[in-house]
Structure 1
Amino acid sequence: MRETTFDGYAIGIDLGGTRIKGVLIDLQSGEPVQQLSVDTRDGNAGNWKQEIREMVSALKQLSFDEVKGIGLAAPGIASADNQMIINMPGRMQGLEGFDWQALLQHPVFVLNDAHAALVAEAHYGSATGHSHALMLTLGTGVGGGLWLNGKLFQGNANRAGHLGHMILDVHNPELDITNVPGSLEQAIGNATVPQRTFYKYNDTRELVAAYRQGEPIATRAWLDAVRQLAAGLASLINIFSPEVIVLGGGITQADDALFGPLATFMDIYEWRPKGTAVPIKKASFTDLSGSIGAAVCSVKTFQFNQTV
């Protein structure tokens, strides 16, 4: 059942390392009425801040009615009041601590990009109608989000849901960006493909293509990554007991090469006391999930003073 407690239009912005995506959505259906996209040009904060200001202005002019809220999704950890990103080391210089309300002259709900993707899926996509859901975004790294008791759970300091930083191999000498060893992000994230394939392959697309051809190194590396993903998902099921798990991000474009072996490994690892497996679904939204989720959060927070 779709969310039907509000209607009208809202703007959502997804600030990514490569592209900035903006949408004007119909809140009743979740459908983008208008969408815009520009290059981020990370490294020059003045440029992408100006691009976002111009994008929001353009989307307002394209709206059929008053814009009821503005939301922004970005990498990193949002402040406790969801007004800004307070932690994003090493990338997006100028993002940490930036006051979006001052720039846009309008209240702005700011949240982690994977959290925003989950909100989109919970309201309009693959997690619709569920009170308890998990989402993992499989891309350059591995992000995630928790939908518990019908709400986005951000936890203390808004740090919850960083599911890619669970530890799968405590003996791995390599530490990820949160200083944990052998994380899920290291196991399947696109950034570690060269190391995992003896520098034979540069990214997941190359790796999966070679796996489909039966190349031995690719087969070993890919199936080991999917096996570790299954182990991580089985652990999350034991901890949270979700009704559904949603997988998004570029790596899910592997389709049957991912979901086929993943189902096989889940048959081995998942605890099924009632004999029923937790469904694992591909995300309904692709590159617009962050912006759609951010738009929803802006209205739920500012117009109705509700949690998302």
Structure 2
Amino acid sequence: MLAIGMDLGGTAVKAVVIDHYGNVLKTMSKPLGQHATSIDEWNWKGVVKSVAADLMEEFKGRITAMGMSAPGICNEENTAIYSMPGRFYGLEKFIWTEYLDHETWILNDAHSALMAEAQFGAAKGYKHAILLTLGTGVGGGIIIDGKLLQGRNMMAGHLGHITVDADNPELDIFKIPGSIEDHIGNATIEKRTYNRYEATHELEAAYRAGDPVATYVWLSSVRKLSIAMCSLINALSPEVFVLGGGIAQAGDSLMKPLAAFMEIHEWRPRGEGVPVVVAHHGEHAGAIGAAAFAIRQSTK
């Protein structure tokens, strides 16, 4: 069994072909071009269709499942994105199976990243796992008893929108004060650094160089991340905690202070903390997870 997985991002469609063991047989990426307010101006649906057609042609007769990772909340059938206001004009409620002429399963992008890790990566073999994706924003996913938790209205897993500062007067995009997304996501980096840095990698480099302001901001953000993670551990008791996204690639700059703060805040009744690991899959995690989800759905 071979499956196509596609990941609809802000600038490109990334795609893979995998077998049921998770071996990646092909990768592909096609740029979307500039954002627009009209589907006629920005033909991202056509790019998706072109990618799918190219892969179907190359692996003619061998593709049995197709999945797509996209931002937003899925419908209960996992056939479309039900809600994604403000981005990808025309994405909401669009049935991809009809457009691509092949049964296509749709999954939230952070959920897809977790599926990649659960099936073929850092969370493989665990029945209970949590993933946080640390990037422009903070996304997440939860696996309980080996199953992806999607919840009522498929809203489960928006873990970036839990608070670490309930008295903060500013609300995030989900109306939550002091969310972990606003405290560590790249989207707020200029505000958090007093306009000193434009990207998290710049902040992290300045922290490594010993800059006192960067050190204060970075460690404050990492401490809040640790508190959010420990809160989730208390609520869900995972066997493993996976960190993905660009910020998770900071190495010891992230993992050493994170471990120190979790030593303080994590409840460890048996003396052992939950393992915190970096996701195995990089830029194609969403596509791999979408393909893995499609394989699972197609073999039910």
Q: TM-score under structure 1 normalisation?
A: 0.94
Query: Is structure 2 residue 88 aligned with structure 1 residue 95?
Result: no
1:24 to 11, 17, 31: 17
1:10 aligns with 2:3: yes
TM (norm. structure 2) is 0.96
Corresponding residue for residue 207 of structure 1 = 203
**Alignment size in residue pairs:** 296
Distance in 2 of aligned mates of 1:82 and 1:193: 34
Match of 2:27 in 1: 35
Output the CA distance in 2 between the equivalents of 1:180 and 1:92: 24
Deviation at 1:64, TM superposition (A): 6.6
Match of 1:247 among 243, 247, 271: 243
CA distance in 2, matches of 1:90, 1:220: 34
AA aligned opposite 1:178:
F
Residue 144 (str. 1) matches residue 137 (str. 2): no
Q: Deviations over 1:98-147 (max 9, x none)?
A: 12112101111001000001011001100000000000000000000001
1:280 is matched with 276
**Letter of the 1:53 counterpart:** K
CA change 1:61–1:239 in 2 (3 A) is same
Post-superposition Cα deviations, 1:219-239, rounded to whole Å, max 9, x if no partner, equal 111100000000000000100
Residues 34, 62 of structure 1: 8 Å contact kept: no
2:198 matched to 1:198? no
Q: Which residue of 2 aligns with 1:5?
A: none
Counting only pairs closer than 5 Å after superposition, residues 113-124 of structure 1 correspond to structure 2 as 113-124=109-120
Paired letter, 1:181: P
- Which whole-Å deviations, capped at 9, do the CAs of 1:83-106 have from their partners, x for residues lacking one? 111111222222111121121011
CA distance in 2, matches of 1:166, 1:83: 28
CA–CA distance in structure 1, aligned partners of residues 24 and 59 of structure 2: 11
Which one of the candidate residues 293, 301, 304 is aligned to 2:299?
304
Pairwise CA distance, 1:65: 4.9
Gaps in structure 1 of 5+ consecutive residues: 1-7
Q: Distance in 1 between matches of 2:93 and 2:49?
A: 17
The letter for the 2-side match of 1:69 is A
RMSD, aligned α-carbons: 1.1
In the alignment, the residues of structure 2 paired with residue 269 and residue 19 of structure 1 have an alpha-carbon distance, to the nearest angstrom, of 39
**1:262 and 1:201 mapped to 2: Cα distance?**
22
Q: Distance in 2 between matches of 1:147 and 1:73?
A: 17
